[in-house]
């Protein structure tokens, strides 16, 4: 009954939003009538709602894509013209044809052909191959045995995952897949569910990258800022990035207290009984059993170190480090997708030589790892392609114009602007599945609102605190929505790294993310009145801990 009630609520939300779309801008025959309106966010809302209702991500994403294609076709096809020319069947055929042109040619094929997306897919496949080789060599098994002797508690396993996630701050994709590959044997030994592992990975991927001055995220943010030094402004936003900082506090609290709530509690109870997956435990199946028992811990550590070094060098290379640029500028100007694919391919070649020299794998066994690694990444690749296509549907309907209009209407309420920007960023990032796209839309709007204040930055050398707070709210909201969204790249990568069913990861993570988001929203509400970082951050941390202790006291008693 409880599950049916949740499904009914999701269906009602989708239906209510659709009705609001008709009220705001009815589907008419005027070309482009529905661009930049509420219709632009309907496709992701349909996809996310269906994923949460059906617990099936592939069909949900595809239906969302078809919804976007249909709205686009109805917006650009002059139906009256085709009705006059050939009747209803002719008009339907023209609309149907345009819809599938948009979905297949301009959507799926265009996104697969995009050079940035191809770079991410190459990195994904190569990393899968390296992991398959480590497993065949026995490195993962040896590391699991070593870790079981040295990491003796469940808390230790959770905190080790957290620390490794914090240390790999260069890029969120790289973080998710590397931490998952290294820590899976450890968390499995200590009966931590794959959903919990996926949460630990996701909570130390984007939230860490968005507060790391040297990362692909810092480069992306600094590139959207006009009128001020991008890196200087990014560093200034770090103490006010409440969602990212509070998420790290949340992870430590959950790990130390061993307290879980929401759907995660069931997954953790099942893990204690030996079921690490709860549902769909055959989504990821390891076919690459260890070929050799003489594999050692270094057969996991050395390949991972090689991968990290080569990927960082690859990103710096694309940023011009070897052409005279300094370290910060190289990161600011890097092409993350090209750098990661370049670095991972270099690491793969070196690792093949390493395993051959160590004589733990034969050349034929290294080659067998290539299709095995690719096969492991097929679910993630399929979800990513669908997610990218859904984002392109949203972009083609000019969602940015609709969101810009919402923010522009809130200009007069400058005291509430941080809170409003945070909420809008959460909604936009959740619906579109992209944090980079979200702050790419919102930050130029914020800099436009404070154009006069930013004009004096060059003379004074200081950035107004309100500007910093508002941009921090955009970044925090973008990460929050990205963290919660089923169609987010990082969320998909976290599921892949943990080898966890994607819908399980989303549904178990959502209550945790929403708890932190609620506290962060209060913090940004306070920041509009008190723009002191120590006061705002201090109150937010205390409030989060108070909420968690209250939840533990009430839900803990209920459970017992």
User: Which 3-state string (H, E, C) describes 520-532?
Assistant: HHHHHHHHCCCCC
Average pLDDT over residues 406-418: 73
Task: Indicate if the pLDDT at residue 27 is higher than 50.
Answer: yes
Q: Find which of 170-184, 339-353, 391-405 is predicted with most confidence, using mean pLDDT.
A: 339-353
The helix/strand count (H/E) of the chain reads as 29, 0
Q: How far apart are the C-alpha atoms of 57 and 176, rounded to whole Å?
A: 20
Higher pLDDT, 293 or 259: 259
pLDDT band at 86 (very low <50, low <70, confident <90, very high): low
SS (H, E, C) 84-104: HHHCHHHHHHHHHHHHHHHHH
Which of 56-60, 87-91, 175-179, 549-553 is the least confident region? Answer: 87-91
Lowest mean pLDDT among 88-97, 357-366, 441-450: 88-97
pLDDT in tens, 489-499: 889 889 988 88
Instruction: List, in order, residues 6 or more apart from 352 with CB less than 8 Å away.
Output: 133, 363, 366
Of 108, 99, 1, whose CA–CA distance to 381 is shortest?
108
Check pLDDT > 90 for residue 210: no
Q: What is the mean pLDDT of the chain?
A: 82
> What are the tens digits of pLDDT across the range 59-83?
888 998 999 888 888 877 765 555 5
Residue 242 is predicted with a pLDDT of 95
For residue 121, is pLDDT > 90? no
Q: Give the largest Cα separation in the chain, rounded.
A: 78
Instruction: State residue 560's pLDDT score.
Output: 44
pLDDT of residue 412 exceeding 50, the answer is yes
Q: Is the separation of the CB atoms in 171 and 216 below 8 Å?
A: yes
Q: Are 131 and 373 contacting, i.e. CB atoms less than 8 angstroms apart?
A: yes
**Residue 91 banded pLDDT, cuts 50, 70, 90:** low
Mean pLDDT of the 474-496 span: 89
Between 282 and 295, where is the model more confident?
295
Q: For residue range 307-336, what is the model confidence (pLDDT) as tens digits?
A: 888 988 888 888 888 887 777 777 767 777
Q: What is the mean pLDDT of residues 383-395?
A: 84
What pLDDT, on the 0 to 100 scale, is given for residue 201? 93
Rounded Cα gap, residues 189 and 172, in angstroms? 25
**Residue 373 — pLDDT band, cuts 50, 70, 90?**
confident
If you write DSSP's letter for every residue of 248-303 in order, what string do you get? HHHHHHHHHHT---THHHHHHHHHHTT-SSSS-TTSS------S-S---THHHHHH
Tokens of 439: 């702050």
Task: Note the pLDDT of residue 5.
Answer: 74
Structure tokens at 300: 């996991």
Question: What pLDDT score was predicted for residue 260?
Answer: 92
């Amino acid at each position: 009954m409880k599950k049916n009630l949740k499904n009914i609520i999701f269906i009602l939300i989708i239906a209510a939003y659709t009705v609001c779309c008709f009220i705001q801008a009815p589907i008419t025959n005027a070309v482009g009538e529905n661009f930049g309106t509420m219709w632009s966010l309907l496709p992701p809302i349909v996809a996310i709602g269906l994923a949460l209702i059906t617990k099936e991500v592939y069909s949900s994403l595809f239906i969302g894509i078809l919804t976007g294609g249909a709205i686009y076709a109805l917006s650009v096809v002059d139906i009256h013209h085709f009705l006059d020319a050939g009747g209803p069947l002719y008009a339907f055929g023209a609309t149907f044809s345009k819809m599938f042109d948009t979905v297949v040619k301009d959507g799926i094929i265009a996104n697969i052909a995009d050079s940035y997306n191809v770079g991410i897919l190459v990195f994904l496949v190569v990393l899968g191959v390296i992991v398959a080789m480590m497993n065949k060599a026995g490195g993962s098994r040896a590391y699991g045995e070593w870790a079981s002797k040295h990491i003796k508690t469940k808390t230790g396993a959770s905190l080790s995952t957290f620390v490794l996630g914090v240390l790999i701050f260069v890029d969120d994709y790289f973080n998710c897949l590397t931490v998952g590959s290294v820590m899976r044997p450890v968390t499995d030994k200590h009966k931590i569910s794959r959903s919990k592992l996926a949460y630990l990975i996701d909570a130390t991927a984007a939230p860490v990258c968005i507060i790391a001055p040297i990362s692909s995220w810092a480069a992306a943010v600094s590139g959207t800022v006009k009128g001020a030094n991008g890196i200087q402004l990014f560093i200034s936003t770090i103490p006010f990035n409440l969602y990212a900082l509070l998420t790290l506090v949340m992870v430590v609290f959950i790990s130390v207290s061993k307290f879980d709530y929401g759907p995660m509690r069931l997954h953790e109870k099942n893990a204690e009984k030996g079921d690490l997956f709860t549902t769909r435990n055959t989504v990821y199946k390891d076919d690459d059993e260890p070929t050799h028992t003489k594999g050692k811990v270094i057969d996991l550590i050395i390949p991972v170190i090689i991968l990290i070094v080569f990927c960082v060098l690859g990103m710096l290379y694309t940023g011009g480090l070897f052409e005279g640029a300094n370290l910060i500028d190289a990161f600011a100007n890097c092409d993350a997708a090209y750098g990661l694919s370049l670095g991972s391919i270099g690491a793969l070649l070196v690792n093949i030589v390493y395993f051959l020299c160590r004589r733990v794998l034969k050349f034929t066994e290294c080659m067998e790892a290539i299709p095995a690694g690719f096969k492991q990444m097929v679910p993630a690749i399929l979800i990513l392609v669908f997610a990218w296509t859904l984002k392109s549907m949203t972009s083609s309907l000019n969602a940015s114009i609709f969101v810009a209009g919402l923010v522009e209407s809130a200009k007069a309420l400058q005291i509430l602007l941080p809170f409003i920007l945070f909420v809008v960023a959460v909604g936009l990032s959740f619906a579109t599945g992209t944090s980079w796209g979200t702050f790419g839309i919102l930050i130029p709007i914020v800099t436009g609102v404070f154009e006069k204040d930013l004009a004096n930055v060059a003379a004074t050398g200081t950035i107004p605190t309100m500007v910093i707070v508002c941009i921090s709210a955009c970044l925090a909201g973008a990460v929050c929505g990205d963290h919660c969204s089923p169609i987010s790249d990082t969320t998909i990568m976290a599921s892949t790294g943990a080898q966890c069913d994607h819908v399980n990861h989303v549904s178990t993570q959502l209550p945790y993310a929403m708890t932190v988001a609620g506290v962060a929203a209060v913090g940004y509400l306070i920041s509009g009145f008190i723009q002191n970082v120590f006061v705002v951050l201090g109150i937010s941390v205390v409030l989060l801990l108070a909420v968690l202790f209250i939840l533990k006291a009430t839900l803990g008693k209920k459970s017992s």
